[in-house]
A = this chain, B = another copy of it.
Amino acid sequence: MKGARTRQSILERAVDLASTDGLEGLTIGRLAEELSMSKSGLFAHFGSKEELQLAAIEAARERYITEVFRPALGAERGYPRLQAICRGWLDYVRRGVFPGGCFFAAASFEFDGRPGPVRDAIVATMDTWIGALEKAILMAKDEGHLRSDVDPALLAFELNSLFFGANFAFHLRGDQQALAKAEAAIDIRLRGVAKKGRRKVA
């Protein structure tokens, strides 16, 4: 019980560290020092650095679902929910849910050229996310909110690209208009596929 709580607090810190320094830049020594515990004591919770990385990915996924994705499911299915996901994503960038910017964008670009179990876990997480986005689009089609010729896989690709682009412009470039641009771009795209009577995004 206590072990599980300790493990969870280690992972929250690990996720924050990895979002700024990367999953490889995350080291057991610094993580232990920040938590004021011994390296070996922390290490005992995971058994290897790779297991720590995999557990951090899972913890980041849970944080993302709790803070960003699940709240959007409160909106009614169809266009409103798709809007809620988009607005929630931009808010996620603004709020800095991960201190070093989007954990998943960072992990994706860190591991896109390297094989191994960590990469595989990132790919699986991103496949699930893109799948969830496609499903929200498909629901909006089924509800008759989007035109029937909309390609969910294509639109999900576009929205995800704009999300990552917003993270890039906001966190790296410090573009003060980053979120306004992303919102405008999403608005343009969604208006292009919405059926009449559904025109506003913001």
- A-side residues, CB < 8 A to B, are 19-22, 24-25, 99-101, 105-106, 108-114, 119, 122-123, 126-127, 130, 151, 153-154, 157-158, 160-162, 164-169, 171-174, 177-178, 181-182, 184-185, 188, 192
Chain B residues with Cβ below 8 Å from A126 are 172-173
- Taking a contact as CB atoms under 8 Å apart, the answer to whether A22 and B185 are in contact is no
- Taking a contact as CB atoms under 8 Å apart, the answer to whether A112 and B106 are in contact is yes
- Tallying the copies of this chain within the complex gives 2
- Taking a contact as CB atoms under 8 Å apart, the answer to whether B154 and A184 are in contact is yes
30 A-B residue pairs with CB within 8 Å: A20-B113, A20-B114, A22-B24, A100-B113, A100-B114, A106-B109, A106-B110, A106-B113, A108-B168, A109-B109, A112-B168, A112-B172, A122-B172, A123-B173, A126-B173, A127-B173, A130-B173, A151-B184, A153-B181, A154-B181, A154-B185, A157-B182, A158-B181, A161-B162, A161-B164, A161-B165, A161-B168, A161-B185, A164-B164, A164-B168
With both beta carbons as reference points, the residue of chain B lying nearest to A166 in the complex is identified as B161
Chain B residues with Cβ below 8 Å from A171 are 112-113
Chain B residues with Cβ below 8 Å from A19 are 113
- Taking a contact as CB atoms under 8 Å apart, the answer to whether A153 and B177 are in contact is yes
Cβ-defined partner of A172 (8 Å) among B108, B165, B173, B184? B108
- Min CB distance, A82 to chain B, in Å? 17
Chain B residues with Cβ below 8 Å from A188 are 192
- Taking a contact as CB atoms under 8 Å apart, the answer to whether A110 and B165 are in contact is no
- Min CB distance, A166 to chain B, in Å? 8
With both beta carbons as reference points, the residue of chain B lying nearest to A180 in the complex is identified as B154
A175 to B123, CA, bound (A): 11
Chain B residues with Cβ below 8 Å from A99 are 113
Given A106-B109, A164-B165, 7 extra CB contacts under 8 A: A21-B24, A99-B113, A108-B172, A109-B110, A112-B167, A112-B171, A157-B185
